[in-house]
Amino acid sequence: MIKVLDFDGLAPEMFLNRDIRAEEDVCAAVDAVIAEVRAGGDAALRACTRRFDGVETDALQVTEAELDAAMSRVSRSFLETLGEAAENIRRFHARQRHGDFILADRPGVVMGQRWTPIEKVGVCVPRSPEAFPSTVLMNVIPARIAGVERVFLATPPGKDGGISPEALAAARIAGADAVFKIGGAQAVAALAYGTESVPRVDKIVGPGGVFVATAKRRVFGQVDIDMIAGPSEILVLADEKSDPGWVAADLLSQAEHDVLASPVLVTDSRELAESVQRELERQLESLPRRDVAHRAVEDNGKILVTDSLDKAVEAVNRIAPEHLELCVDDPFALLPRIRNAGSVFLGRSTPEALGDYFAGPNHTLPTSGTARFSSPLGVDDFMKRSSFLYYNRPALSACADKIADFARREGLEAHARSALSRKEG
């Protein structure tokens, strides 16, 4: 049964499952896989797929014929849903694009900033039990809006050696350039260093388990990465008017992801806390992924009772959850007070699942308290900034002495001479 605790007096480490450190044996295993793929290329990828996924595969890349077949196997109604979700995601992320700027407000001086897209991006898509079409849309579409030239997907094959038709349909709708039947640390290694079949990319994004997360950490520097994702989290802030059945359902929507997931309710109503506690037990009985969700609830779930909504908001900001639901009468009044959250779901009719699949904001979010300093995946993650500047000779001459003085105070005479050599007269 989920634990009901008083918020006051709890240490921060009691709030959520926040340990995302890889154990030494995981790091060693990941390092061995990376080394194997770097040395063996495609042959190593096939060996890893056989060893870790139990699948023999010759062709690592999904063919156009397989993509065509997938489109024909997916129901028309779900294709329409994928198309509508993709359009919602495009509309939201299109507003994130930044413009370049130029400053030319001084004689002889021009400077500014320009945004350019990353050239090649790899997207890792987990399989649990099938590759997630929602993750395909959420990662590929912002990259396309940013102007990324080539986007490659990597996802582990199923026991039949294929990828789910829904995920392949999403890949085509989102505009992925290629899909590879590889997963785990070996996919990260292939994307980071390249093989005969898999192109080397400049950035790797997408969620995954501890092996993917550890591999992304290991290859950072060779490539950029989006984030190191920990277990999924939901925090529901609810008052006494909230429906305990709805609250319990929302908590379970994250608990069913993973035994390490953290479902948390913060409320100022002990009556609601006890009602949700009972509802969780009742709803768990009929949940298909009951065993996974039950362990997440038992091990990591918590109901924190506060003495006011003000204290509940304090709890939110201290926890910095991945997903935050504000189940209160006026959620917009609370929103300005929320400083730390990956994505905020406002009101009693906005379940977290809406954001997972359909609404438009990205579902790749900071976990493990990193919402204190990081953001959801977006168009910016697929772009980079460059500054530029131009001085004509008179403009440089006017400040050359100051530059030289600055450089000499740092012990860098060549810097000083470089500026002074262009000084007029």
| Contact residues for 47 (Cβ-Cβ < 8 A; gap 6+) | 36, 40
Full DSSP string of 352-393 = HHHHHHTSSS-S----TTGGGT-----GGGGEEEEEEEEE-H
Q: Residue 109: helix, strand or coil by DSSP? A: strand
Catalytic residues: 322-323
Mutual angle of helices 165-174 and 133-146, in 10-degree steps: 10
- CA–CA gap between residue 369 and residue 382 (Å, rounded): 23
Q: Using an 8 Å Cβ cutoff, are 279 and 367 in contact?
A: no
Q: Residue 301: helix, strand or coil by DSSP? A: coil
Tell me which residue of 321, 327, 335 sits closest to 365, measured CA to CA: 321
Q: Using an 8 Å Cβ cutoff, are 236 and 265 in contact?
A: yes
- CA–CA gap between residue 380 and residue 222 (Å, rounded): 20
CA dist list (Å): 42 to 47, 181, 294: 9, 11, 40
Tell me which residue of 315, 309, 352 sits closest to 330, measured CA to CA: 309
Token pair, residue 391, equals 């001085």
| Contact residues for 396 (Cβ-Cβ < 8 A; gap 6+) | 419, 422, 423
Q: Using an 8 Å Cβ cutoff, are 329 and 237 in contact?
A: no
Token pair, residue 261, equals 């997931």
Q: How many Cβ atoms sit within 10 Å of the Cβ of residue 114? A: 14
